[in-house]
């Protein structure tokens, strides 16, 4: 049972088929003038159009990258390089993914100033805080759509309203965790200038992602070279992965409503069960302010790793808060930011779902949870 | 709202006297071929109006198509309901609600072609109007120039409701003015010229010159794609591709560079004329605008036009580039036109073409060439493609990749 879909998802067989077919049959370089190149170019552009249509944007506004981390880096550093003459102040939240946070830290070393907005108990930034922290020299606001550790949905529409009064500031949204989770409308907000996506979070291969960049917004390229992707992201296009990702996106977005509702039901089933135990603490909400696929909780007195391995012994795969930090034995930065005591935060684990999970699996999870809870209670008492 | 019927009002045709029947038949034919992929739809072209019965076809799509057919002044989509006043009331409210913004005014306008119906027009106006007024809060009645006029027509087979008049494309039904050839390059101007010709009822066929390997397959596909963009106005267009390599190579080799362009154009015109004669065309259209480039001075036009007596018509001749671009954007050919593929006009463009070529010099240089042989060989290599609405050429057609994506 795989409950670690926020770390990565299993590649869809149809998507893999596309990957393989493109490798074998459409292997020309899209930049070549001859037929093979032309054919590859057409596939590339149709994939781009499909991606654009699926997220409700224009074909010209989609740029393929190597994934979420590159997209985040590009949005932030690209803005910093392009606009540093107008200002050197950036705003983000304290619960962003390391791809954003560490990029910000790197920029700080280069003389940029960064404001890390605090979050409330649910992990959400406040628009008031945002408005107060905007300065004359602010060039970028970067806020994630869905938090990867506890699943809180940030008030993107409200932030967009605030930023309408500051039309020159770039607004970047890290949407890596938000694809196929019933948030399509929010991600179509017109004020968003830049958006990062990662293929392997929705059943595409690793090493592929894309960025939405609104028409007319300028950011500097990070990768210079042969001038691919309108001279903004050089490097021969990874066409098999691009086509595969376009397909994966279609498969998940076409059924988004059904899929996200199903995940919500599974999450609620586990939530309602875990909630009953007095040593269990749940950090995610079950309401509409949280994504339907993430449930973060702790069992007081038991280390997160222990819980992960105990579930693993029962063939259930979950993780400590985020895959990126789980091997470093560090306390989740999101939990710390929402004011959770380190003692409890070290006990946190994350269940993250996708459309292939079922209510029966939730049932089984709950049974295993009962057993483990009982076992840990005996040991700790 | 899903409509069941569309009533079409004719444009200028009403004034065309004895030819009226021809015009109406032609328009009916054009509407049918523009809707060829809506199999259930039925078109009945009557003397004063045309009725399109949708029989369940998607009205939004049909309306979009209909807007592009020349010869239509305007049209009103309507919904047929049972001859039951209650049903009419409900539908009327639904219709008004769809359009309504706070503060809008409306009136009901009833007609009866079936005078046996229980209520007369005034009674119906009052009943329906009163009901709508009660059920759409904020709506006001206004008899003169209301924002919404709800038309109610009582016929024997049902009651028809409509509330809007959609502007048609105007012009004359394509085909009523006869057939002509359009010299289609792939630039911005010629598709616009084609559009304007069609608007006045001309049935155009595209003549496109291509010169492999100097011009690419893509340039040819681009011209076909441009043609496909113009098909909604007629349903389908014949695309004639003429191989031009031999002529271009010969001219390049044998003619002084100042006259390269002039002579090439003379060949194009000769070929187009020959095709027109063969295919029943009465004139030649092109996208020349006065003074735009070297070939488009009056002297140049005279030197080129010298090879034919067939009327060469230039719909955009006196337009500024910006005016042409505006139309190109309206008919959605602009983005395609500016795609950067070499076409046969640019490949052998001389560095300094004569802007004032002389007719006798042009004739003299040509006398060294085997004009008839060159023309005949080009004509022998002609290929005709029937291009229909929805055809796509530039992007390996979407089906090619539909399994992958």
Question: Is A232 a member of any domain?
Answer: yes
| Structural domain boundaries, residue A86 | 13-251
pLDDT of the residue at B314: 96
pLDDT of the residue at B401: 81
pLDDT of the residue at A367: 96
The overall average pLDDT reported for chain B is 89
Q: Is the backbone of residue B102 left (phi > 0), alpha (psi -120 to 50) or beta?
A: beta
Question: Is A161 a member of any domain?
Answer: yes
Chain B residue closest in CA terms to A247:
B405
Whether the pLDDT of residue B104 is over 90: the answer is: no
The per-residue pLDDT for range B211-228, each reduced to its tens digit, is 988 888 888 999 999 999
CA distance to partner chain B, nearest, from residue A44 (Å): 10
Render the burial of B361-371: b for 16+ CB within 10 Å, e for the rest. Answer: bbeebbeebeb
- Residues A217 and A266 grouped into a single domain: no
The per-residue pLDDT for range B237-252, each reduced to its tens digit, is 999 999 999 999 999 9
Last residue of a domain, one of A209, A225, A251: A251
Contacts of A47 in chain B (CB under 8 A): 401, 405
Question: Is A239 a member of any domain?
Answer: yes
- Residues A247 and A375 grouped into a single domain: no
Question: Is A199 a member of any domain?
Answer: yes
Residue ranges with strand state E in chain A: 62-65, 89-93, 113-117, 138-144, 170-174, 194-198, 209-213, 280-282, 294-299, 319-320, 348-352
Supply the angle between the helices B321-330 and B189-199 in degrees, to the nearest 10: 70
pLDDT of the residue at A25: 93
Q: Is B217 on the interface with A (CB under 8 A)?
A: yes
Average pLDDT over residues B224-233: 92
Contacts of A45 in chain B (CB under 8 A): 395
The per-residue pLDDT for range B33-88, each reduced to its tens digit, is 888 889 999 999 888 889 999 998 988 899 998 998 998 999 999 999 998 889 99
Question: Is A3 a member of any domain?
Answer: no
Q: Is A18 on the interface with B (CB under 8 A)?
A: yes
DSSP code at position A188: T
Question: Is A333 a member of any domain?
Answer: yes
A179: its two tokens: 């694809």
Q: Name A284's Cβ contacts closer than 8 Å, sequence gap at least 6.
A: A150, A151, A152, A267, A271, A290, A294, A295, A296, A297
Last residue of a domain, one of A251, A281, A305: A251
Q: Is B397 on the interface with A (CB under 8 A)?
A: no
Whether the pLDDT of residue B144 is over 80: the answer is: yes
Is A42 within 8 Å of B404 when comparing Cβ atoms? no
Contacts of A18 in chain B (CB under 8 A): 404-405
Question: Is A4 a member of any domain?
Answer: no
Q: Which CATH architecture has domain B177-398?
A: 3-Layer(aba) Sandwich (3.40)
Spans of chain A, pLDDT less than 70: 322-330, 381
Portion of chain B with pLDDT greater than 90, in percent = 51
Is B405 within 8 Å of A45 when comparing Cβ atoms? no
Q: Is A38 on the interface with B (CB under 8 A)?
A: yes
Name the nearest CA neighbour of A293 among A143, A182, A203: A182
Model confidence at B397, pLDDT cuts 50, 70, 90, reads: low
- Residues A65 and A204 grouped into a single domain: yes
Catalytic residue ranges of A: 324
DSSP code at position B81: E
Q: Taking the domains of chain B in order of start, what are their residue ranges?
A: 3-165, 177-398
- DSSP bridge partners of A106: none
Average pLDDT over residues B165-171: 89
Render the burial of B169-206: b for 16+ CB within 10 Å, e for the rest. Answer: bebbbbbbbebbbbbbbbbbbbbbbbbbbbbebbbbbb
Three-state SS for A328? coil
Average pLDDT over residues B140-158: 88
Contacts of A38 in chain B (CB under 8 A): 217-218
- The total domain count for chain A is 2
For residues A28 and A40, what is the distance between their CA atoms, to the nearest angstrom? 6
Q: Is B352 on the interface with A (CB under 8 A)?
A: no
For residues A112 and A97, what is the distance between their CA atoms, to the nearest angstrom? 19
Is A46 within 8 Å of B395 when comparing Cβ atoms? yes
- Residues A216 and A273 grouped into a single domain: no
The answer to whether B155 is annotated as binding is: no
A381: its two tokens: 């008492």
Contacts of B401 in chain A (CB under 8 A): 42-43, 46-47, 243
pLDDT of the residue at B17: 72
For residues A274 and A343, what is the distance between their CA atoms, to the nearest angstrom? 19
Q: Which fold has domain B3-165?
A: VC0802-like (3.30.2130)
- Residues A243 and A308 grouped into a single domain: no
- Residues A233 and A266 grouped into a single domain: no
CATH number at residue A178: 3.40.640.10
- Residues A41 and A159 grouped into a single domain: yes
CA distance to partner chain A, nearest, from residue B403 (Å): 8
- Residues A173 and A286 grouped into a single domain: no
Last residue of a domain, one of A214, A234, A251: A251
Question: Is A69 a member of any domain?
Answer: yes
The answer to whether B296 is annotated as binding is: yes
Is A39 within 8 Å of B216 when comparing Cβ atoms? no
Is B404 within 8 Å of A33 when comparing Cβ atoms? no
Model confidence at B274, pLDDT cuts 50, 70, 90, reads: very high
Is B404 within 8 Å of A39 when comparing Cβ atoms? no
The per-residue pLDDT for range A78-95, each reduced to its tens digit, is 999 999 999 999 999 999
- Residues A152 and A237 grouped into a single domain: yes
Is A39 within 8 Å of B396 when comparing Cβ atoms? yes
CATH number at residue A273: 3.90.1150.10
Render the burial of B252-271: b for 16+ CB within 10 Å, e for the rest. Answer: beebeebbbbbbbbbbbbbb
């Amino acid at each position: 049972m795989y409950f670690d879909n926020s770390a990565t998802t299993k590649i869809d067989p149809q998507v893999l088929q596309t990957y393989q077919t493109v490798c074998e049959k459409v292997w020309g370089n899209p930049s070549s003038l001859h037929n093979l190149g032309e054919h590859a170019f057409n596939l590339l552009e149709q994939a781009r159009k499909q991606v654009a249509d699926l997220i409700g944007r224009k074909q010209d506004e989609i740029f393929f990258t190597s994934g979420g981390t590159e997209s985040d880096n590009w949005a932030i550093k690209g803005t910093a390089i392009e606009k540093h003459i107008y200002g050197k102040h950036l705003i983000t939240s304290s619960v962003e993914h390391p791809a954003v946070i560490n990029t910000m830290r790197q920029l700080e070393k280069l003389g940029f100033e960064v404001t890390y907005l605090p979050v409330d108990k649910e992990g959400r930034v406040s628009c008031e805080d945002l408005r107060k922290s905007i300065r004359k020299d602010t060039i970028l606001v970067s806020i994630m759509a869905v938090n990867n550790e506890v699943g809180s949905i940030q008030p993107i529409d409200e932030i967009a309203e605030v930023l309408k009064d500051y039309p020159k500031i770039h607004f970047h949204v890290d949407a890596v965790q938000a694809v196929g989770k019933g948030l399509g409308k929010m991600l179509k907000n017109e004020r968003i200038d830049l958006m990062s996506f990662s293929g392997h979070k929705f059943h595409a291969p690793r090493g592929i992602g894309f960025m939405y960049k609104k028409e007319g917004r300028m950011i500097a390229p990070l990768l210079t070279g042969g001038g691919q992707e309108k001279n903004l992201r050089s490097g021969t296009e990874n066409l098999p992965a691009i086509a595969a990702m376009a397909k994966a996106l279609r498969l998940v977005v076409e059924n988004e409503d059904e899929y996200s509702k199903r995940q919500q039901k599974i999450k609620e089933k586990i939530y309602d069960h875990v909630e009953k135990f007095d040593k269990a603490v749940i950090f995610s909400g079950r309401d509409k302010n949280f994504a339907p696929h993430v449930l973060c909780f702790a069992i007081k007195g038991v280390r997160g790793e222990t819980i992960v391995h105990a579930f693993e012994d029962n063939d259930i795969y979950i993780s400590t808060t985020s895959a990126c930090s789980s091997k470093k034995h560090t306390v989740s930065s999101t939990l710390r930011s929402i004011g959770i005591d380190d003692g409890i935060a070290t006990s946190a684990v994350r269940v993250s779902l996708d459309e292939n999970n079922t209510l029966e699996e939730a049932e089984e999870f709950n049974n295993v949870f009962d057993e483990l809870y009982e076992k840990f209670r005996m040991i700790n008492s | 709202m899903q409509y069941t019927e569309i009533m079409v009002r004719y444009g200028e045709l009403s004034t065309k006297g004895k030819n009226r029947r021809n015009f109406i038949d032609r328009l009916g034919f054009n509407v049918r071929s523009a809707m060829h992929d809506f199999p259930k739809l039925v078109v009945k072209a009557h003397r004063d109006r045309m009725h399109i019965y949708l029989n369940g076809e998607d009205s939004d799509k049909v309306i979009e198509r209909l807007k592009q057919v020349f010869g239509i002044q305007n049209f009103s989509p309507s919904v047929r309901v049972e001859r039951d006043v209650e049903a009419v009331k409900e539908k009327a409210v639904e219709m008004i609600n769809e359009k309504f913004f706070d503060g809008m005014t409306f009136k009901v306008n009833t007609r009866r072609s079936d005078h046996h119906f229980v209520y007369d027009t005034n009674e119906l106006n009052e009943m329906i109007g009163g009901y709508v007024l009660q059920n759409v809060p904020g709506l006001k009645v206004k008899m003169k120039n209301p924002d919404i006029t709800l038309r109610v027509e009582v016929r024997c087979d049902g009651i028809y409701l409509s509330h809007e008049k959609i502007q048609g494309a105007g012009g004359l039904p394509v085909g009523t003015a006869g057939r002509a050839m359009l010299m289609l390059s792939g630039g911005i101007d010629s598709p616009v010229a084609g559009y304007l010709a069609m608007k006045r009822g001309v049935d155009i066929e595209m003549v496109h010159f291509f010169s492999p390997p100097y011009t690419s397959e893509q340039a040819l596909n681009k011209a076909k794609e441009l043609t496909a963009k113009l098909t909604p106005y007629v349903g389908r267009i014949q695309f004639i591709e003429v191989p031009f390599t031999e002529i271009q190579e010969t001219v390049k080799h044998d003619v002084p560079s100042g006259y390269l362009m002039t002579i090439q154009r003379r060949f194009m015109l000769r070929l187009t004329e020959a095709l027109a004669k063969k295919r029943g065309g009465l004139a030649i259209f092109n996208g020349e605008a006065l003074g735009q480039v070297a070939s488009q001075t009056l002297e140049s036009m005279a030197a080129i036009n010298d090879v034919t007596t067939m009327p060469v018509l230039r719909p955009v001749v006196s337009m500024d580039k910006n005016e042409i671009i505006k139309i190109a954007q309206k008919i959605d050919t602009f983005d395609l036109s500016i795609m950067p593929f070499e076409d046969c006009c640019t490949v052998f463009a001389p560095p300094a073409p004569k802007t004032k070529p002389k007719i006798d010099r042009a004739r003299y240089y040509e006398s060294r060439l085997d004009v008839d042989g060159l023309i005949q060989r080009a004509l022998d290599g002609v290929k005709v493609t029937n291009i229909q609405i929805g055809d796509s050429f530039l992007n390996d057609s979407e089906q090619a990749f539909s399994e992958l994506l």
